[in-house]
Amino acid sequence: MSGELFAEGSLSGAFKTSYSSLLPSTSSCKSTSSSGYLSKKTANPTLAVASNQPATSSKLRFAFSAASRTPEKSSNLQSIVLDFDRQVPIERASTPPSSWYTHPDLLAHEMETIFWRSWQVVGLTCQVEKPHAYFTGSLGKMQYIICRDGKGELHGFHNVCRHHASPVASGSGCTTVLQCPYHGWSYSLDGRFQKATRLAGIQNFKPHDFGLLPISIATWGPFVLLNFSLPCADLKLDHNAVDKDWLGDAHSAIESADINAELCHIATKEYLVNCNWKVFCDNYLDGGYHVPIAHKNLASGLSLASYSTQVLERVSIQSCKTDSVAGRLGQSAFYAFVYPNFMINRYGPWMDTNLVIPLETSKCLVVFHYFLDPRLVDDKEFVQQSLSESEIVQMEDVVLCEGVQKGLESPAFSKGRYAPSVETAMHHFHCLLQQDLMSTL
């Protein structure tokens, strides 16, 4: 992912380039700049837990903010969450109330109960391909550092100095030492406390207890994932256990979609969208319902009568045949939604992934990574044409999602209904949300 995301300007949804505080910087991966394309092969699409044990005895178990939540706030959240009943079948169900998309307390609750308690994609492995490489980013209030030490081990740490809470690093780059820019406390890339000045007279200070606080880290194909809630000891989980935790029973189905190690990373694009993060996910999960209306150019290349949806444990898979094997779409399109906020799209020679990151109640960041069959990487005209066609679709979706958000904020709207024949994946998404949101209330 590029950590330089948004440049100056007010246009929402535009592809921009400078905003390092929300997503990690990209040191060796490629975004669409004028300097050409960098080809990066993906790794095998198997979730691999980093084998390292962070070299610090510091342990962190989050109670998050549930303990500080007032009974009144908990009661209010409970009433909002329970205003959708996952037990009601889709044929009779209403959609979640508009408060799911407009209430600021619910967004904070989602961060605590969903995003910080699940595996989250935070960057690309090519950003930390070489020893001593690092990048930084944040998910809500969680700031993190991803780095590869001199032995080649991958680590994730909270980007918070153990002295007075300053961020230890920013942006991305290569370094042998992580030194806090505030008072100079230094840490090795495996998280160990290394040194600090002016500690004469300090008592009850054990250096091995003051390393950077570790975060559970794993990789899947070209992606780096973090789980903020797992204690350090759980890093010993085997790969299959983490695969099951993230993908559930959909691992083989996703793997069978020809997501292979030969695909090359071509470009990264980011969109700032003025809508609740769930609006963007809902739009993705409507079973192609909006495609013939809102994406006429895209629809002309799809055989929409073949559109199908498969709902699995934590993943929904939509697929559709195309009307031509030539061009960007190939002979079929495969769209996998990995709960709660990651999408994998495989079509023709392309794979792109979409990551939806909540920023505010009515604002999210959507990050697209594009991967291509290596045999076509040098065909600049095809690459540019394909990315331009994709850009048209994304901007059409931005307009749709921002319009829906305005409607959700109107007093005229409370709840809607599902189209049962096509919106099963959306309904499944809402059921998973309700289940998780109620788990700590």
Q: What is the DSSP string of 215-279?
A: -EEEEETTEEEEESSS-GGGGG--HHHHHHHHHGGGHHHHHTTT--TT-EEEEEEEEEESS-HHH
CATH number at residue 330: 3.90.380.10
Tell me the per-residue pLDDT of 360-417, one tens digit each, with 9 for 90 and over.
999 999 999 999 999 999 999 999 999 999 999 999 999 999 999 999 999 999 999 9
Q: How many Å apart are CA 355 and CA 183, to the nearest integer? A: 35
Listed in sequence order, the residues at least 6 apart from 117 whose beta carbon sits closer than 8 Å to its beta carbon are 227, 228, 229, 436
Please tell me the predicted confidence (pLDDT) of residue 23.
Answer: 46
Least confident of 51-60, 168-177, 358-367: 51-60
Which of 231, 242, 241, 216 has the alpha carbon at shortest distance from 63?
231
**387 falls within a domain:** yes
More confident residue, 348 or 8: 348
Residue 230 binned pLDDT confidence (cut-offs 50, 70, 90): confident
Q: Is 432 exposed, middle or buried (0-12, 13-18, 19+ CB in 10 A)?
A: middle
**116 falls within a domain:** no
Mean pLDDT of 235-251: 74
Is the confidence at residue 348, as pLDDT, over 70? yes
Domain boundaries, position 316: 262-436
Tell me the per-residue pLDDT of 140-174, one tens digit each, with 9 for 90 and over.
999 999 999 999 999 999 999 999 999 999 999 99
**50 falls within a domain:** no
Please tell me the predicted confidence (pLDDT) of residue 46.
Answer: 66
**291 falls within a domain:** yes
Q: How many Å apart are CA 380 and CA 388, to the nearest integer? A: 12
**156 falls within a domain:** no
**215 falls within a domain:** no
Residue 36 binned pLDDT confidence (cut-offs 50, 70, 90): very low
Please tell me the predicted confidence (pLDDT) of residue 289.
Answer: 94
Residue 367 tokens, joined: 């990050």
Residue type, 19: Y
Q: How many Å apart are CA 374 and CA 155, to the nearest integer? A: 29
Q: What is the pTM of this model?
A: 0.87
Q: With pLDDT > 70 as the criterion, what percentage of the chain qualifies?
A: 82
Please tell me the predicted confidence (pLDDT) of residue 342.
Answer: 98
> What mean pLDDT value characterizes the chain?
86
Please tell me the predicted confidence (pLDDT) of residue 212.
Answer: 98
Mean pLDDT of 290-302: 91
Is the confidence at residue 188, as pLDDT, over 50? yes
Tell me the per-residue pLDDT of 118-146, one tens digit each, with 9 for 90 and over.
999 999 999 999 999 999 999 999 999 99
DSSP assignment of 45-95 equals SSEEE-----S--------TTGGG--HHHHHHHHHHHTTS-TTS-TTTPBP
Residue 69 binned pLDDT confidence (cut-offs 50, 70, 90): confident
Please tell me the predicted confidence (pLDDT) of residue 323.
Answer: 79
**72 falls within a domain:** no
Residue 56 binned pLDDT confidence (cut-offs 50, 70, 90): low
**325 falls within a domain:** yes
Which of 327, 338, 359 has the alpha carbon at shortest distance from 284?
338
Please tell me the predicted confidence (pLDDT) of residue 315.
Answer: 97
Please tell me the predicted confidence (pLDDT) of residue 3.
Answer: 33
Report the number of distinct structural domains present in the chain: 1
Residue 70 binned pLDDT confidence (cut-offs 50, 70, 90): confident
Mean pLDDT of 307-327: 88
Which of 34, 184, 77, 180 has the alpha carbon at shortest distance from 439?
77
Least confident of 71-80, 108-117, 167-176, 251-260: 251-260
